[in-house]
Copies of this chain bind each other. A is one copy, B any other.
Amino acid sequence: MRKVSELGERKVIQAIINCLDKMPEMPIPFGDDLSAVKIGKNALAVVKTDMLVGKTDVPPGMSLRQAARKAVVMNVSDFAAKGVKPLAALVSLGLPKNFDEENIRQIGLGLNEGAREYEAYIIGGDTGEASDLVISCSLFGLCEKQILVKRSTAKPGDIVAVTGEFGKTAAGLKILLEKLDVPEGIRRPLTEAVFWPKARLKEGITLAEAGFLSSSIDSSDGLAWSLHELSVASNVGFKIDFVPLASEALELARLFNLNPLDLGLYGGEEYELVVTVKRELWDKAKKAMESLGGKLIRIGEVVGEKKLIVKIDGETTPIEPKGWEHFKS
């Protein structure tokens, strides 16, 4: 019988889903970024839970305050991907017995920051003793049924785009985990990307409300994995011709002789949105993002054949279905 370490997170989730009775008229299928309950003719209550565990999700150097903030922000990012504004959060805290009052205060401050940055509030929770630090955050919001952008509705011909550059957190994590000796000028922006992730909530809501998107997901498990998820859910392929990389990530790749494309494609804990945009709406969508002070960067297009490739400088490489996964990583 296989252990969870062999199964990996995604097969564990599937094994649980196999045991569950499915809610009738489930507005969002299992496995999308959010879950929802129909609460009126066109109204959905939207919920999401995501758990941060100290030993696997908190890299060396990250403070408790940052970890607690991140536990909220990673949930907000899923709301961003669907275009839903989060209203309130609950937090379950598993705390090691040796944590003290100041540790608790730092966690409280971080939770509040994570919520308030996105205009949500922490409204309740629970706590208990655990061997590891565990911060399980559940987020709640409301939306109109037609606003919510699924993973399953990308169409061939649509433009694939992202809301920012990639590679920073993969590079930052590498610095932290492998204790790399790196000049401060690139260490700081790369590690800050790990310590202070930002969710693209404003961007996601604007894009969804204007009806620009045909599908959307966040890149929390890496750009490659996000594309694979969209590909499976929408039954399409992707031809990527540009992977926007942060200059600091490029510099780290140069210094340590790393493949920059790997940093961009196969990282994780990066909270950009990966979206598909109806071609005729592209200019408008791009302008809407720019007027927000954000970015919408074209990286390729949706194709009918269910194949994922990146073609840069005439060289074609397949995009592997890999990314950050609990238990396996």
Listed in ascending order, the chain A residues whose CB lies under 8 Å from chain B are 1-5, 7, 9, 12-13, 15-23, 26, 30, 34-37, 39, 45, 47-53, 55-57, 87-88, 90-102, 104-105, 107-109, 111-112, 115-116, 121-132, 134, 136, 138, 140, 142, 326-327
A-B pairs with beta carbons under 8 Å apart, 7 shown: A7-B101, A20-B111, A34-B124, A35-B123, A56-B129, A126-B136, A129-B326
Among A22, A96, A122, A138, chain B packs the most CB atoms within 10 A around the CB of: A138
A218 to chain B, nearest CB (A): 14
**Interface contact B90-A35, CB-CB below 8 Å:** yes
**Interface contact B92-A15, CB-CB below 8 Å:** no
A107 partner residues in chain B, CB cutoff 8 A: 16
**Interface contact A15-B101, CB-CB below 8 Å:** yes
Contact of A3 among B12, B45, B100 (CB under 8 A): B100
A136 partner residues in chain B, CB cutoff 8 A: 49, 51, 92, 126, 134, 136
CA distance A151 to B107 in the complex (A): 28
With A99-B3, A104-B15, A124-B30 given, is the CB distance from A37 to B131 under 8 Å?
Answer: no
**Interface contact B4-A104, CB-CB below 8 Å:** yes
With A20-B112, A102-B1 given, is the CB distance from A45 to B45 under 8 Å?
Answer: yes
CA distance A123 to B45 in the complex (A): 12
A5 to chain B, nearest CB (A): 5
A9 partner residues in chain B, CB cutoff 8 A: 127-128
Contact of A21 among B3, B95, B121 (CB under 8 A): B121
A130 partner residues in chain B, CB cutoff 8 A: 53, 55, 94, 130-132, 134
CA distance A158 to B71 in the complex (A): 44
**Interface contact A127-B93, CB-CB below 8 Å:** no
A99 partner residues in chain B, CB cutoff 8 A: 3-4
**Interface contact B94-A94, CB-CB below 8 Å:** yes
**Interface contact B56-A124, CB-CB below 8 Å:** no
A168 to chain B, nearest CB (A): 23
**Interface contact A327-B129, CB-CB below 8 Å:** yes
**Interface contact B122-A20, CB-CB below 8 Å:** yes
- Nearest first, the 9 closest Cβ-Cβ pairs linking A and B are A19-B108, A35-B124, A23-B121, A131-B131, A51-B92, A138-B138, A136-B136, A49-B90, A92-B136
**Closest B residue, CB atoms, query A54:** B130
A311 to chain B, nearest CB (A): 35
A88 partner residues in chain B, CB cutoff 8 A: 23, 35, 37, 47
A123 partner residues in chain B, CB cutoff 8 A: 23, 26, 30, 35-37, 47
**Interface contact A3-B98, CB-CB below 8 Å:** yes
CA distance A123 to B109 in the complex (A): 30
**Interface contact A93-B16, CB-CB below 8 Å:** yes
CA distance A101 to B13 in the complex (A): 11
A15 partner residues in chain B, CB cutoff 8 A: 101, 104-105, 108
A124 to chain B, nearest CB (A): 3
A279 to chain B, nearest CB (A): 32
**Interface contact B37-A108, CB-CB below 8 Å:** no
Contact of A16 among B37, B45, B111 (CB under 8 A): B111
A34 partner residues in chain B, CB cutoff 8 A: 124
